[in-house]
Amino acid sequence: MIHFGLLRHGEVVGGRCFRGRSDPPLTDTGWQQMQAAVSRHGPWQRVVTSPLIRCANFAEDYAQKNGLSCTTEPRLMELDFGRWEGLTAEQIMADDEDALTRFWSDPDRYPPPDGESLAAMRTRVLAAWGDLLTEVQAADTEQRTLVVIHGGTIRLLIQHLQTLGGNPPAPLLSIQVSYGALWGVDYQVHTGQFIVREPTS
């Protein structure tokens, strides 16, 4: 059995907005949210992180304090929101309500203006996930890997795993991933089956 913890970063400086490649640091509350999640669901044996500092700062600190390896994986970054980077939903609604409404209703067909498509994001995220699975299977031991990433990245992975399990995937934006949420994913190597566990408090 191989276990993954998919941890979303905590609250960040500047409040809620469309934040993909822009990279403010965590607030003290955000740091505490992540620490609480990993403390409840550890121990961990290795850490993989997005390079953006709202993920990497915590991941590297946690790994160092616990004597763990920490690998940076750029393909696990959040969606690039293009011209919407740093804007709130209210700001975008005031300027381009139709574009935001289309994105919310069908993000696969209507990417953010000058931003990344979900198809492109899905390709890179699933390639990184496949490589990670290959690595842990090659180790041939039971492992617990903490993956510190973003809300959008987690939604794509959960939707993908639902599809593999033969279940109809939930609409991407309906998958709730709060700050500091930690999803559990168990992988049974011999059967190839994934078991997804929603975050618990």
Residue-wise pLDDT for 71-112, tens only, equals 999 999 999 999 999 999 999 999 999 999 999 999 999 999
The dihedral sign for the CA sequence 132, 137, 138, 139: positive
For the chain, give the percent of residues with pLDDT over 90.
78
Q: Which residue has the higher pLDDT, 150 or 187?
A: 150
Residue-wise pLDDT for 40-76, tens only, equals 887 899 999 999 999 999 999 999 999 999 999 999 9
Q: Which helix (H) or strand (E) holds 133?
A: helix 118-139
**Every domain of the chain and the residues it spans:** 2-82+117-197
Rounded Cα distance between 6 and 153, Å, is: 9
Residue-wise pLDDT for 122-138, tens only, equals 999 999 999 999 888 88
Question: What's the Cα-to-Cα distance from 55 to each of 6, 63, 95, 107, rounded to whole Å?
Answer: 12, 12, 30, 24
- Global pTM value: 0.94
pLDDT at 139 over 90: no
Give the pLDDT confidence score for residue 140 in this predicted structure.
Answer: 63
Residue 65, SS3? helix
Nearest to 100 by CA among 61, 88, 56, 59: 88
Nearest to 198 by CA among 118, 170, 190: 170
Give the pLDDT confidence score for residue 125 in this predicted structure.
Answer: 98
Rounded Cα distance between 76 and 154, Å, is: 9
CATH number (3.40.309.10, 3.40.50.2300, 3.40.50.10190, 3.40.50.1240) of 2-82+117-197 reads: 3.40.50.1240
